Chains A and B, each alone.
Chain A
Amino acid sequence: MTELPATSTRKLGLVIDLDTCVGCHACVISCKGWNTENYGAPLSDQDPYGGDPSGTFLNRVHSYEVLPDTGPAQLVHVPKSCLHCEDAPCVTVCPTGASYKRVEDGIVLVNETDCIGCGLCAWACPYGARELDAAEGVMKKCTLCVDRIYNQNLPEVDREPACVRTCPANARHFGDLADPDSAVSRLVVARGGMDLMPEQGTRPVNKYLPPRQRDAWADTSVLAPFLTPVAEEPRGFLGWLDKALDKL
């Protein structure tokens, strides 16, 4: 059934540090690499070496510029994948029961043999975390590397999602957010972890740590007065051209 579990004893999820993410996209590549050859259908590419390449990704890194009222602009990289929401709207809209949220650990998964590829779950997700694979015709999404985290065949150090394992800046953390004493929960408390789009009412499990305050902008440069424009209004030939073009 596509009803959501009332509670899940554990809430496995990611904590992503926007302060330390350098936007290298290594998590995107390792995610695609692991998930295209393991659990479920491969993540296909269309026209990968041609003029209009596109493909299925479960994790994408956006970059934003924040312009405060005073001080310099700040560049913030925001990696975005499934947030494994507690009130996941993608699960309840599913007509076939292919989408479900696990009771035991809260991971949202798609049973690909039941998916009809109607795309309604991707419409219901405000974050764009789900993508319909163009080759397979079924919905793909982050599995929290469910085939790694419980995999006894892997060394213990590798039993975490591929994106977390690979992050060179250590900006991604994996753990149980239902346990207040877990490393990720303590990190969320210490750094003021936040939800994306809280007004959508999805109650995401994944949290984002806001960037720390930067150093203050230094006083205005001594060279600044010399950088003011010399001519405010065009004169002479350019002035005439400006007026003539205005009249056209």
Chain B
Amino acid sequence: MKNIWWKVLAVVIMTYVIFWGLLGPVPRQPILNESIRNVSFHVPLWFAMIILLVTSVIYSVRYLRKGRMDDDLIAVEFANTAILFGVLGCLTGAIWANFTWGDPWPNDPKLNSVAVGMLMYMAYLILRGSFDDEQRRARISAVYNIFVFAVFIPLIFILPRMTDSLHPGNGGNPAFGKYDMDNNLRMVLYPGVIGLTLIGVWITQLRVRLRRVKVAMDE
């Protein structure tokens, strides 16, 4: 376990987020009440997912440019972890929405976009499963990964902003920071983003190493 410092950092930051997110002061909002604390746990999942997806795309591009199988392996594992975070984000969001909006899956553009995004990445995994030749699988799934990412970003960031949404920051609602964010909450949210991203990178790194070992055993 060399280069352990960032793993320690991840654990320390996440511990801070868990404690401070539950105990620290939060703004008092009607309807949301105490559940506003979910901001420090639910929202970082999405930020971390986006960061992991960006990394995955970067590795896909690198694979296409340099053609090293290792890059493809890393790209898949980042996508896998991102999907895990996305599913967790959907679940936590559904629980939260059930209490504040009265419906686990309100017909909200952001939710629907994210569900479609999840479908896209599931399709990515299915696409990978349907090849026998490794080189070919790597190249074509890298192409699809880039394509899907380019469709996913407008889907999740631009389209929901243009229609009415329950989420803050969409459809004319003021964005974060205008009314239900304050500096206390930010002090937890941003570390949460960093911490969860690091945890995600850790999980990804473990899976990548496992795969490399497998590859080495096969040789």
| A and B from one complex | no
Q: Write the residues of chain A forming the contact surface with B, with a CB cutoff of 8 angstroms.
A: none
Give the interface of B toward A (CB within 8 A): none
